[in-house]
């Protein structure tokens, strides 16, 4: 009797018992169950929720690997100085970088999945439904959007909060209003701001070394800009470094290049909505252009604290911070985003627009992607509502103007009122 057969036997044994959902979740994660749907018509397709989630995770793995190497690279560069003639193979993809990154990033991944799945299993057992796969992607997104040195207990508290308050109270996977990963990020940001912002948290070891002779700093690109140190920033990082992601930042969000590849992969596998991505990019460019215009028109003096970020080239906003990551992986969340096609255009555009706006005007922290997406998550149902209403109205109007040919003459008015 093979392993697969044994699992099926165990499953039958536990059917109807309290722990059945927990067992089934593990079982169907590894194997397809040997039972078929019994009644009703059903669609035969391979892309069920589990497949969808796994596809997104596949798109995230490059970002995670890059994040692991980058964690090591940023740490060693901050201590030993940045290499003169940077070459990817020589300075970036090294065992040292990988090892350091692995021991700092992988615990975050383990805690994120461990705590989140434990809560999912707990709720499934209490409420007696099958474990849903929603957490698979959230669990992978969370490590990628937090600073590398986030204390693990804080992460555990935030994950528990995000999964329970952000998702389970609304009814679990597919019912949540807010993106759980962003809820977790927002909770961390408001609960422990010193660990989520500043120039120390983005590079491993910087917090521990603060105040000592070995102190190192890992100011992000946006951090420099928020202080108006534009020239200093450009002396340290050039555009290609920003694009390929060799800059400090949250673990997996730095490489716009890999995010772009992941985004294309999601678009071609038809998992994520290209409309949201495109319109969000357009929205952020539009806001960036407005700011650039304000600077060009000299409406804002150079000593203003917004000058640094406002004068940043509009399209370069896409290369730094979490904007690209948010647009590709967070804004496109099918549960919390708009459902209608026209709604997606509006929803995406406003996400991009607000992200850059909050980024520039946020006094405490020069980033706003997660806030913008959470805000638009709340508005997504309203947008959809008005899009649907608009559609209904247009069709009603068409109907009013249409001529209806009745079988028997004299029934025109009657038919019309009936349809309306």
Partner 1 sequence: MALLSKKDANLILDPLADNNPITIQVLGICSALAITAELKASVVMALSVIFVMGVGNVVISLMRNLIPSKIRIIVQLVVVASLVIMVDQVLKAFAYELSKTLGVFIGLIITNCIIMGRFEAFALGNGVWRSFLDGIGNALGYGVILIIVGFFRELLGSGTLFGIPVFGDPVAKTGLYSIGYENNGFMIIPPAALIVVGIIIWVQRSRNRALIEEA
Q: Contacting partner 1 (CB under 8 A), which of 79, 103, 110, 169?
A: 169
Q: What does the per-residue mask of binding to partner 1 show for 114-153, with x meaning CB under 8 A?
A: -------------------------------------x-x
Look-up: residue for tokens 């007696």? 128
- Cβ proximity to partner 1: between 157 and 295 the closer is 157
Q: What minimum distance in Å lies between the beta carbon of 59 and partner 1?
A: 31
- Cβ proximity to partner 1: between 187 and 246 the closer is 187
* Residue of 271, 266, 269, 317 whose CA lies nearest to 290: 317
Near partner 1 in 296-335, by CB under 8 A:
none
Q: Contacting partner 1 (CB under 8 A), which of 65, 93, 118, 165?
A: 165
Q: What minimum distance in Å lies between the beta carbon of 174 and partner 1?
A: 17
- Cβ proximity to partner 1: between 179 and 284 the closer is 179
Residues ≥6 apart with Cβ < 8 Å to 64: 105, 109, 140, 143, 144, 251, 252
* CB distance 145 to 181 below 8 Å: yes
Scored b (16 or more CB within 10 A) or e, 63-81 reads bbbbbbbbbbbbbbbbeee
Near partner 1 in 246-265, by CB under 8 A:
none
- Cβ proximity to partner 1: between 151 and 406 the closer is 151
Q: What minimum distance in Å lies between the beta carbon of 164 and partner 1?
A: 9
Residues ≥6 apart with Cβ < 8 Å to 268: none
Q: What minimum distance in Å lies between the beta carbon of 195 and partner 1?
A: 8
Q: What minimum distance in Å lies between the beta carbon of 368 and partner 1?
A: 17
Number of alpha carbons in the 13 Å side-chain half-sphere of residue 29: 16
| Residues 201, 150: Cα–Cα separation, whole Å | 8
| Residues 284, 351: Cα–Cα separation, whole Å | 8
- Cβ proximity to partner 1: between 80 and 194 the closer is 194
Q: Which two tokens stand for residue 410?
A: 């004299």
Q: What minimum distance in Å lies between the beta carbon of 190 and partner 1?
A: 4
| Residues 173, 202: Cα–Cα separation, whole Å | 31
| Residues 20, 128: Cα–Cα separation, whole Å | 8
Q: What does the per-residue mask of binding to partner 1 show for 177-216, with x meaning CB under 8 A?
A: ----------x--xxxxxx---------------------
| Residues 412, 111: Cα–Cα separation, whole Å | 68
Q: Tell me how many residues contact partner 1 (CB under 8 A).
A: 13
Q: What minimum distance in Å lies between the beta carbon of 119 and partner 1?
A: 15
- Cβ proximity to partner 1: between 154 and 290 the closer is 154
Residues that bind partner 1 (CB under 8 A): 151, 153-154, 157, 165, 169, 187, 190-195
């Amino acid at each position: 009797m093979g392993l697969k057969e044994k699992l099926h036997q165990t499953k039958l044994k536990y059917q109807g018992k309290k722990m059945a959902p927990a067992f089934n979740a593990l079982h169907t994660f590894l194997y397809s169950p040997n039972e078929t749907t019994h009644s009703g018509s059903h669609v035969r397709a391979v892309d069920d929720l589990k497949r969808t989630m796994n596809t997104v995770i596949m798109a995230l793995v490059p970002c995670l690997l890059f994040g692991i190497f980058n964690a090591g690279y940023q740490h060693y560069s901050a201590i030993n100085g940045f290499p003169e003639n940077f070459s990817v193979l020589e300075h970036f993809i090294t065992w040292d970088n990988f090892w350091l990154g692995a021991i700092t990033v992988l615990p975050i991944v383990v805690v994120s999945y461990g705590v989140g799945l434990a809560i999912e299993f707990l709720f499934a057992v209490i409420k007696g439904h099958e474990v849903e796969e929603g957490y698979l992607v959230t669990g992978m997104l969370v490590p990628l959007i937090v600073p590398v040195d986030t204390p693990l207990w804080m992460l555990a508290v935030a994950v528990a909060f995000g999964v329970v308050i952000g998702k389970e109270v609304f009814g679990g996977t597919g019912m949540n209003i807010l993106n759980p990963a962003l809820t977790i990020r927002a909770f961390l940001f408001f609960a422990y701001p010193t660990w989520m912002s500043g120039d120390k948290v983005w590079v491993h070891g910087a917090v521990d070394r603060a105040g000592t002779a070995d102190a190192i700093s890992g100011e992000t690109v946006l951090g420099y800009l928020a202080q108006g140190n534009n020239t200093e920033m450009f002396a340290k990082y050039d555009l290609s470094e920003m694009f390929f992601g060799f800059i400090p930042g949250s673990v997996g969000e730095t490489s716009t290049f890999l995010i772009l590849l992941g985004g294309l992969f999601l678009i071609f596998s038809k998992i994520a909505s290209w409309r949201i991505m495109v319109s969000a990019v357009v929205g952020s460019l539009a806001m960036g252009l407005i700011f650039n215009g304000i600077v060009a028109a000299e409406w804002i003096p150079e000593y203003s604290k917004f000058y640094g970020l406002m004068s940043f080239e509009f399209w370069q906003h896409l290369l730094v911070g979490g904007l690209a990551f948010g647009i590709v992986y967070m804004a496109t969340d099918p549960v919390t985003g708009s459902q209608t096609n026209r709604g997606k255009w509006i929803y995406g555009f406003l996400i991009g627009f607000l992200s850059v706006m909050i980024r520039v005007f946020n006094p405490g922290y020069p980033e706003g992607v997660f806030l913008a997406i959470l805000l638009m998550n709340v508005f997504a149902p309203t947008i959809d509502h008005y899009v649907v209403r608009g559609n209904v109205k247009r069709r009603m109007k068409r109907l009013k103007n249409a001529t209806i040919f009745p079988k028997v003459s004299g029934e025109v008015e009657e038919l019309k009122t009936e349809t309306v």
